[in-house]
Amino acid sequence: MDFAQPIVRYLSRFLCVAADTLGDQVFFKLACFTTLSLSPTASHLTHLVLRLPRRNLLPSLTTHPTPLATPFPSLTSLDLSTSHLLTDARLPLLLRLHPTLEHLILDRCTGLIGAREAEDQAAFTLRWLGKCCGGIGASRAEEVFRAWRRLIRDRPTGVPAPGPPAEEAKGKKRAGRSGYGNMPRAKAVVVQPVKIVWATTTSLLVKDVLVVPPPPRLCSLGLGLFEIDERTDAFWRAKFGEGYGEAIGKTGERIEEAIERWEGWRSSGKLADGTRRMVTLRDGIPPDSPWIDWSYFESDEVFAAFCAERELVQIDPAGATEVLAALRAHAAAFVLCTKADCSGEPGKPHLSLSNVSKEDVGERERREKRLWEEEGRERREWRREASEHRAGCGHLDSRLAWNEED
């Protein structure tokens, strides 16, 4: 059973889902991907390939039951080729929820740029894609800052006493006739609102927090939507670069503003009260960074718990300068590849439910082997040489990960 090797690779390192287009069988519910993303199995996946032509997968990949959910925590490569994408907030959210992602492949996706689309509309989409890829760090930092502001909004001087937030039960009469309308009724019990009592403390509490955006890990975008000539390729790169450069520039400005503000606090003596912090996300700092005091003890228990929950580390202007240098170095190495590395033809459903209980084990093995051989021959017919792709792109990374020959 030499054909079983790819299946073993699916289960051990990747997950590949192909659309089953046999007869009337199609995927209608995609919520299973949400469940999968938070499962123990997903924690080990590094490369994920989804092949559901013309289906919008982003809602199921970005909708999670809790705001602190960590879907696919080890994912470095995501291939959504042939699916349908919209220029809305789902793609930036997807990138923010997967901070470990290094390669995103959107070959032959519909909904982004059409083959007959005017250049001005294509330019808008390309700049938007560039901003999405370059603004990941700023988006994550902004989300952390807003979460902290919400947390301390009602915290004047201490930590809250245990107990649920105040709620008032309001009895509202429902429209329509009641079946108990003629029966005697007891008076409605109104639960009085319980105010949160903040305990006073003599320890210093953190008030102001500067969140330094980390450099994004995403280093390549595969955008082989359709065949384009060299002039169009140059145009796409220029417009994508405009959006990407703008997002990286704004992220760098935010880091510089944080450094400047911290130095302003230092010069005015406001740091003496110990109520101000500068932080960044842990994955934005190398483990051996000399600017991080990993043994630092935070006296504010609420802020310490917040940092642990959000995986934040405290830094100083020197550490922020290191983050800024990493951001600029990363931006200079970003790769945009416009050569598709997938076929535009319908895929072959290897895992089909259409023949369950209709074939024995031997028949299923022969069918699966035949499908793998056919797919291998077709791949060799349409697959481009590695030299046609951009060095460092997600297409080449995927080939290495799958151990596929050219």
Closest among 290, 283, 261 to 215, alpha carbons compared? 283
What is the mean pLDDT of the segment spanning 269-275?
92
Longest pairwise C-alpha distance within the chain:
85
Q: Is the pLDDT of residue 164 over 70?
A: no
Q: Compute CA 284 distance to the chain's CA centroid, rounded to the nearest angstrom.
A: 15
User: Binning pLDDT at 50, 70 and 90, where does residue 366 land?
Assistant: confident
**Overall average pLDDT of the 262-271 stretch:** 95
The pLDDT score that the predictor gives to residue 352 is: 53
How far apart CA 130 and CA 115 sit, in angstroms, is 20
In this predicted structure, what is the pLDDT of residue 355? 55
pLDDT in tens, 218-260: 999 999 999 999 999 999 999 999 999 999 999 999 999 999 9
Residue 185 has pLDDT above 60, yes or no: no
Higher pLDDT, 373 or 84: 84
pLDDT value, residue 180: 37
Say which residue the tokens 């989300």 belong to.
Answer: 143
Q: Inform me whether the pLDDT recorded for 179 exceeds 70.
A: no
User: What number is the average pLDDT over the span 200-209?
Assistant: 71
137-161 tens-digit pLDDT: 999 999 999 999 998 887 755 444 3
Q: Which residues of 159-194 are buried (b: 16+ CB within 10 A; e: fewer)?
A: beeeeeeeeeeeeeeeeeeeeeeeeeeeeeeeeeee
pLDDT at 354 over 50: yes
Query: Given pLDDT bands bounded at 50, 70 and 90, which one contains residue 395?
Result: very high
In this structure, is the dihedral angle defined by the CA atoms of residues 133, 226, 59 and 349, taken in order, positive or negative? negative
DSSP for 34-97 reads HHHHTSTGGGG--EEEEE-TT---HHHHH--SSTT--SSTT--EEE-TTSB--SSTHHHHHHHH
Q: Residue 204, Cβ neighbours under 10 Å: how many? A: 11
Mean pLDDT of all residues in the chain?
80
Alpha-helix runs per DSSP H in 98-191 = 119-134, 136-152
What is the C-alpha to C-alpha distance for residues 172 and 269, in angstroms, rounded to an integer? 55
pLDDT value at position 361? 79
Outline where DSSP puts E strands in 120-235. Answer: 208-212, 220-222
DSSP H or E run through 232: helix 230-268
Condensed to tens digits (0 to 9), the pLDDT of residues 298-316 reads 889 999 999 999 999 999 9
Higher per-residue confidence, 330 vs 17 = 330
- Asked if 37 and 57 count as a contact pair (C-beta separation under 8 A), the reply is no
Q: What percent of the chain has pLDDT over 70?
A: 75
- Statement: residue 23 has pLDDT above 60: no
Mean pLDDT on 196-208: 60
